Amino acid sequence: MAMTDILIPAATLEDVVRRVFSAAGCDGPEAQRIAHHLLGANLAGHDSHGVVRVPRYVEWLQAGFVLKGQSASIVADGGAFLLMDGHYGFGQVVAEQAVRTAIARAVANGSCIMGLRNAGHIGRVGDYAEMAAAEGLISIHFVNVGGSVLVAPFGGVERRFSTAPFSVGVPLPEGPVILDFATSLVAEGKVLVASNGGKPLPEGALIAPDGTLSTDPHTLYGDYAPGGPRNPANGLGAIRAFGDHKGSGLAFMCEMLAGALTGGGTSGPVEGRGRITNGMLSIFLSPAHFGDKPAFEAAARRYIDWMHECTPADAAQPVLIPGEPEKARRADRLANGVPLPPETWGSIRATAVALGVNIPEGL
């Protein structure tokens, strides 16, 4: 947390965000679901997918880019698989509906493969892996952002991929293990957060058209005013794919499975495309149906213990398993509040005030 950050109690922040989306025209459950998801991303420490998105989501709603009150519908139903359409609704809402539909199938039958297309921004993908884990299911999620080309592939300087996140969740009695990351070196939201004075970008996160590596958000956004909108269309550079040729390959497969296969479309070419949407191909698997659940859990427990016993390269940084940083951050922020850079809070506040939403005194 930076010295200048404003600390806001989680419940207060969630309530402000809920009232913003109600004032913007969403019904009660929709406003609540969006607020809960965004706050959840902040609690997990992924500020890039948290409340920083509020002004942009409201702009998208007002521009008709994302639609309120939509429900995910089934396009194809093979029993063991489902293809669903989000009809450009809020991603947090239609992806939850799609995931819950697939979860019910997997709980009943042991597995379900679900494709979702045309969802608005679904946010932090780990949220959906956590939903599945809460119902005792393993889940794997390939996600892309149709029409959003931001990431240079291995060896390239031009944008070809979206930030195409990938997530895997494993339910265990002591709590789920959740892997969840963008296949770009950083999520676009992390560039947004850095441009608002938040956490700086890691070395080499961005690449300029001449191949120079950069940590300057202007490489992605071009010129912008403090507190003003950030538009990647105004920048000439790109975010880099993580993990050299391997991360670049995983991003490629996210575009194939979540974009091309679902019919939601790949990151580009973007000509003639009206909207930016998330696509997702998810696999849900029940360990109880698949084999010996107690034996799986015992083996997983032994393996996690062995991971934790690994001697760290830096004595101050113990070896962690996926999801542990988020768990620790969640406990801290629930107890102590969510830190927001003043610029981020200022832009949320301005959006709220413009919609006639009262801000609690002192904030």
In single-letter form, the type of residue at position 318 comes to: P
Site for ligand NAD in 5-64 (CB under 6 A): 46, 48-49
Say if residues 184 and 161 touch (Cβ distance below 8 Å): yes
Site for ligand NAD in 219-278 (CB under 6 A): 278
Q: List helix spans (H) across 255-361.
A: 287-290, 293-308, 324-336, 342-354
Contact between 182 and ligand NAD by CB under 6 A: the answer reads yes
Candidate ranges 245-253, 263-271, 301-309, 315-323; the one touching ligand NAD (CB under 6 A): 315-323
Q: Which residue has the tokens 């390959």?
A: 249
Compare residues 279 and 337 and give the one whose CB is closer to ligand NAD.
279
Please tell me the distance from the alpha carbon of residue 204 to that of residue 199, in angstroms, as a whole number. Answer: 15
Please tell me the distance from the alpha carbon of residue 17 to that of residue 36, in angstroms, as a whole number. Answer: 9
Q: How far is the CB of 362 from ligand NAD (least distance, A)?
A: 30
Site map (CB under 6 A) of ligand NAD, residues 142-181, x = contact: -x-x-----------------x-x-x----------xxxx
Compare residues 56 and 121 and give the one whose CB is closer to ligand NAD.
121
Compare residues 8 and 145 and give the one whose CB is closer to ligand NAD.
145
Please tell me the distance from the alpha carbon of residue 132 to that of residue 104, in angstroms, as a whole number. Answer: 10
Instruction: Please select the residue that binds ligand NAD; options are 259, 326, 338, 344, rule is CB under 6 A.
Output: 326
Compare residues 96 and 105 and give the one whose CB is closer to ligand NAD.
96
Per CB under 6 A, residues contacting ligand NAD are 46, 48-49, 121-126, 143, 145, 163, 165, 167, 178-182, 186-187, 190, 278, 320, 322-323, 325-326
